[in-house]
Chain A
């Protein structure tokens, strides 16, 4: 009996009955809707839970997603990256000084899943679900901010991990700069960028150096000269400082995604051998940017006399002279870009290190950006005195 026919009958019956009918008719669709809502709110989750419990949903990667699932996951992933990237403050131009380090890291950490120019991927990786994209083909789909978001935070349900160090946005930006380069690289150019200097067969390594040395050389170079301005010179650095720093990376007291991978799981005796090896390399002069004499002079002033009115002690008090604590690093001839980055990390307390790190943090917190630039430039071209 349809509501329409009821209304027709209603004209013939008494007024009271017609009113009752009208109320019932009006209520009927409402009753059905509430039932649906109740089923949806309680019944459907129960059905889904039951389905999961009896093992109805196939989690095997072999058959791929249902089309609707794949569509939904893609939509959710792309939308989330796009939306969360709105909060990322991307630089106008990417800093390319970290390219060699980023390329070295890519070769060790990323290429195993994403492949690299001239490298075939493992068939096992190609059966991952979702299959890791060939980044040379796909980085163009994303903005710098979106790439930053993906590299820093990873992507759930895909196997894409977050960056191993939480407070090293500088490293993540270096990776983004490298990803922008990746589509332009042919296999030889990629190898030159990622491996140059780490060709272990070409030189006469001391027999005592451990195998992991080739990991170091990828970024620091065979002579410890530091490939690219963002990677520190290790040649001629104090052995005690190098060892304490390696131990700090291994323990997590100093954070770096680039260093976390190679240093994890290395035998403590090997760490000591590595420190000894790089300390024994002859000092090299770092590449030098053009900096005005005025800036250099200001840097020299800070290095030798500090800035007493702002309670900045002279760098020389700890870093110059042969009579200083062996855990205080030598700074002469170090890359300016590296020094600048470390001072800023100290200033924001995002850099730990040896047990003495907070002394440097205390001093760095009293430095302006200009001070940091000047003093970094000064030390990068300061000639090595007798040790």
Chain B
């Protein structure tokens, strides 16, 4: 009997408080979303005319490509990269454009795409790799551009 009355009173308070609680939790939810840091596109890859391309140790581009897991989604013929979820990159360097045609096929553009594909291709399935050191992204981009 008294428990029921208590429950009733409790409910009344609950209804009063619920909107406030909801607002509070919404606030926390918002705070929780972790946005990857957005680098200004201009700083992403300043080395379009890169004279150091040939200075990479042989195989470093492919080894970075494989070690970071790119091969799980992409195929590059003649390597252990045999993923089928993303586009086949065996001859990506000879394409006229990348990112569904929104970017020119340059080393700089490939590097920008690898770092933040979502900026260029809405709804893209590929996650951003902007947590990689910029030099590694550029090395991978040089390697991909050279796949003719």
Contact = CB atoms under 8 A, between A and B. Distances in A.
A301 interface: no
Contact of A317 (B9, B83, B127): B83
Given A166-B28, A306-B72, A306-B85, A324 B67 contact: yes
Interface size class of A (residues with CB under 8 A): 20 to 34
Contacts, number: 69
A286 B84 CA distance: 33
Contacts of A75: 6
A83 B13 contact: yes
A142 interface: no
Contacts of B83: 306, 313-314, 317
Interface stretch (A54-62, A174-182, A226-234, A355-363): A355-363
Interface residues of B, number: 29
Contacts of A71: none
A40 B147 CA distance: 84
A84 B72 contact: no
A317 B69 contact: yes
A325 B131 contact: no
B125 interface: yes
Contacts of A306: 72, 83, 85
A308 B85 contact: yes
Contacts of A318: 68-69, 72
B26 interface: no
B127 A80 contact: no
Contacts of A173: none
A166 B67 CA distance: 33
A313 B6 contact: no
Interface string A70-82: 0000010001101
A84 B14 CA distance: 7
Tell me which of A315, A352, A358 has the highest count of chain B C-beta atoms within 10 A of its own C-beta.
Answer: A358
B11 interface: yes
A325 B67 contact: yes
B73 interface: yes
Interface of B: 6-7, 9-11, 13-14, 28, 32-34, 36, 63, 66-73, 83-85, 125, 127-129, 131
